[in-house]
Amino acid sequence: MMTIAEIRRRDTRTAKLLSAYPGKWVTLSQDKTKVLGVSSRMESALVQAHKKGEAVPHLVKVTDLPIGSFVL
């Protein structure tokens, strides 16, 4: 099992990787170290990842929208 420190290092690397694609849908490898697909359409980013052999990619919308919210 990864330690908290290892998880943080990985997450920092992933955040840096994603920052190159503002506004795009990005698919990552399961370990989140490789970008497998980039598109303005979610479906297209998923297809790119599946074509590269990743059965269950991690899907991210790189957004500058505030991500916090609450629901009443």
Partner 1 sequence: MSHTIISYSQVNLGHSHRDSPKIVYVPLLDTKLCYQNRQTIFSFSSIIDSGADFCVFPAKFGRLIGLPVEEGDAIVTSGIGGKEILYFHKIQVSVVIREQIWKFECEAGFSFKMNAKGIGFLGRKGFFDLFEEVAFNQQKRMVKLKGEGTRNLCD
Which residues are near partner 1 by CB under 8 A? 1-2, 4, 7-8, 11-12, 14-16, 18-19, 22, 25, 27, 30, 42, 46, 49-50, 55-72
* Min separation Cβ 23 and partner 1, Å: 8
- Are 29 and 36 in contact, with CB atoms under 8 Å apart? yes
Smaller CB distance to partner 1: residue 16 or 53? 16
3-state secondary structure 47-70: HHHHHCCCCCCEEEECCCCCCCCC
Q: Would you call 1 helix, strand, or coil by DSSP?
A: coil
Question: What's the min distance (Å) between Cβ of 34 and partner 1?
Answer: 15
Nearest-Å Rg of the Cα atoms of the chain is: 13
Q: Write down the least CB distance from residue 3 to partner 1, Å.
A: 9
